[in-house]
Homo-oligomer: A and B are copies of this chain.
């Protein structure tokens, strides 16, 4: 099944997803064209259209894979929640984004979200990630001595914004660079922690 004769690829969909991610990583967003992708997969220009309705759907599928890899980054052990643990959490989030920038760009980029043609599967995946995070904050409130007056949703929105903003500025090379990631993560984690300790 490895070396197929010619006509039928056998596992084109899988190949397309992998090669597309590779192209994105190596050549950047501009480098990923349907035609280049098809060529790289050793197939003709329009073959991909039998597996994805259009380019947007291809990108949505890649983003979904991104979210699947993303799972695990968000989870924080709430037993013995501490400042250090929060700082580590920030580090994990940023490291994922920086090391998987092709995926992160699709998962949280305007390209898909502002297009209006985002797949509902992707939307579900994204929203459930955020809901998971909010639920986790609520769990902290129950288990730890954390200000019960804190609005978990607002806190989640603002802290996620901080994480997302740092990732964007890092990936795009604006204001932040990876050389100072450590101290920045500590600062962010400290702020997250401090807000939880408010009486």
* The 4 A-B residue pairs with the shortest CB-CB distance in the complex, in nearest-first order: A165-B165, A161-B165, A164-B165, A154-B187
Q: Which of A143-194 contact B (CB under 8 A)?
A: 151, 154-155, 157-158, 160-166, 168-169, 171-176, 180, 183-184, 186-188, 190-191, 194
Chain B nearest CB from A138 CB (Å) reads 15
Contacts of A171 in B (CB 8 A): 110, 114
With the chains together, A151 CA to B183 CA distance in Å? 10
Q: Return the contact of A172 from the options B114, B157, B165 (Cβ within 8 A).
A: B114
Kindly state whether residue A22 has any CB partner on chain B within 8 Å: no
Of all chain B residues, which has the CB nearest A190?
B195
Contacts of A188 in B (CB 8 A): 158, 161
Count of this chain's copies in the oligomeric assembly: 2
With the chains together, A55 CA to B88 CA distance in Å? 41
Kindly state whether residue A126 has any CB partner on chain B within 8 Å: yes
Kindly state whether residue A39 has any CB partner on chain B within 8 Å: no
A175 near B191 with CB under 8 A, answer no
**A158-B184, A164-B168, A169-B161 given; A110·B114 CB < 8 A:** no
